[in-house]
Amino acid sequence: MGVADSEVQLRVGQEILLDAVKLWTDILDFVRPRISREGFETWLAPTKGRAIRNGTLEVDVPNSFFADWISQRYSAEVRAALAGVSGQELTVSFRPRDAADSGVLIRRTPVRRPSMKPNGYRLQAHLTFENFVVGESNRFAAAAARSVAERPGANYNPLFIYGGVGLGKTHLVQAIGNHALALKPGLKVYYTAADDLFVELIQAIEKNTRLEFKNKYRGLDLLLLDDVHYLIGKERLQEEVFYIFNSLHDAGSQVVFTSDRPPQDIPTLESRLASRLGSGLVVDVQAPELETRIAILRQKAVMDRADLPDDVAYFVAARVRTSVRALEGSWIRLLALASLDSRPITIQLAQEALKDLVKEDEPVDHNRIIKACADHFGVSLSEITTGGRTKQLALARQVAMYILRTTLSLSLKEIGSLFDDKDHTTVMHAIKKVDELKIKDPGFAARLEKLSKGINRGEPR
């Protein structure tokens, strides 16, 4: 819908009313699939187009906090939407309902279709290494990503990053793009997700522009292809991806893939990448452990200039365990609640904020962990907590101590007290032992991971 047409139809004095509502709705439809669902529901759903005046689209928002937040967080998406939806220069101004005239602006957008811009196309400025919290769960992936960003094509090519939903894969590949471009502004960097590539391919076939399609990809220095598990079962798309990949690889350009599973679980991809994976690297990102979750929350709070007390950070991090995305959703919810009612961030507020968001997440208590470990090793609860020196018992106890430490972050002393008042050095030794075993025995590491995750999801054994 062009704004110009409706201006003619709907002009009422200087204001165009109906039109603003519709235009903003169109913009939101464009933005919705591009940001997180929590983010959309929390920040954008309560907004409404009010008027278009002198080249400015005025949008009602609940208060000035929303205005700041939306313009800080979502201005790139809103700008892209403006270019895509209205096709002409417009400024968006957010008008807090509580203060009629102190709007926050997203300024004039140069109208350029994003696809005309090969450098850094579709990179989001805030997805950087600086904003990526590194912990045990993602250390290796983050290091590999940095190395690739610093010298694209030179180190690991392709780099293949896999892991579950919301664990930071997109963040990492975007950070690669942003960092590589910052170091070398002329670099041709292109980020796309496999499903978008699919749409693009279909359009190229329909419009008979396959050559342009191919050439566009062939000329890149760095291709970031997100979510390649989408290729499963799409033969035609796979052909194209291999063609693109091979020509880039042959030219020494860097390719980074992400996926929700390792390459061997995408059989056609793996067999066709196999010869090339020799020069590449496969890394995974795991669910963040408690310390990392707390660090991520702290970082979000700093970025949002909010005061997050330690006990609240712990409270939220202990309950939201499945992904960083869920954690971020909880934080956004908490912050929105605090700002809407001008309340300080407290445990009580966190309880409210998490009420609907994390139904699955009953806090894990220590009894459940100890019981699950006892079950797993086929020993009784009293055997695991008191005496008993067989090898199996010792291991069961060590694993339980380890999981208590990593998931609940109990102190060594607290853990000791749960096991017939063992000394804190015994607990320390147990944790060290498990750490060593994890390194020595990958099978053990995998079982431990599974056990630990099972407990977290409330399904012991």
Residue of 133, 144, 301, 353 interacting with ligand ADP (CB under 6 A): 133
Smallest separation, CB 220 to ligand ADP (Å): 21
Describe the crossing of helices 324-340 and 64-73 by its angle, rounded to 10 degrees: 150
Binding status of residue 376 toward ligand ADP by CB under 6 A: no
Smallest separation, CB 227 to Mg ion (Å): 6
Stretch that binds Mg ion, among 109-117, 164-172, 320-328, 420-428 (CB under 5 A): 164-172
Rounded distance between C-alpha atoms, residue 320 and residue 330, angstroms: 8
Residue of 47, 170, 339, 398 interacting with ligand ADP (CB under 6 A): 170
Pattern 168-197, Mg ion, x by CB under 5 A: -xx---------------------------
Rounded distance between C-alpha atoms, residue 82 and residue 205, angstroms: 27
Q: How many CA atoms lie within 13 A of 18 on its CB side?
A: 7
Q: Show the tokens assigned to 294.
A: 């707390």
The option from ligand ADP, Mg ion, none interacting with 133 (CB < 5 to 8 A, set by class) reads ligand ADP
Residue 446 β-bridge partners: none
The option from Mg ion, ligand ADP, none interacting with 354 (CB < 5 to 8 A, set by class) reads none
Smallest separation, CB 410 to ligand ADP (Å): 24
Residue count at the site for ligand ADP (CB under 6 A)? 17
Smallest separation, CB 169 to Mg ion (Å): 5
Q: DSSP string of 135-199?
A: -TTTHHHHHHHHHHHHSTTTSSSSEEEEESTTSSHHHHHHHHHHHHHHH-TT--EEEEEHHHHHH
Stretch that binds ligand ADP, among 124-132, 208-216, 384-392, 424-432 (CB under 6 A): 124-132
Stretch that binds ligand ADP, among 51-59, 130-138, 149-157, 396-404 (CB under 6 A): 130-138
Residue 453: how many other CB atoms lie within 10 Å: 15
What length does the chain have? 461
- At CB < 8 A and 24+ separation, what contacts does 239-246 make? 240/197, 240/201, 241/194, 241/197, 242/272, 243/214, 244/214, 244/217, 244/218, 245/158, 245/273, 245/276, 246/276
Smallest separation, CB 206 to ligand ADP (Å): 29
Binding status of residue 167 toward ligand ADP by CB under 6 A: yes
Binding status of residue 324 toward ligand ADP by CB under 6 A: yes
Residue of 165, 251, 274, 302 interacting with ligand ADP (CB under 6 A): 165
- Contacts of residue 29, defined as CB under 8 A and 6 or more positions apart, other chains included, come to none
Smallest separation, CB 324 to ligand ADP (Å): 3
Q: By CB under 5 A, name the binding residues for Mg ion.
A: 169-170
Q: By CB under 6 A, name the binding residues for ligand ADP.
A: 127, 131-133, 138, 163, 165-171, 296, 324-325, 328
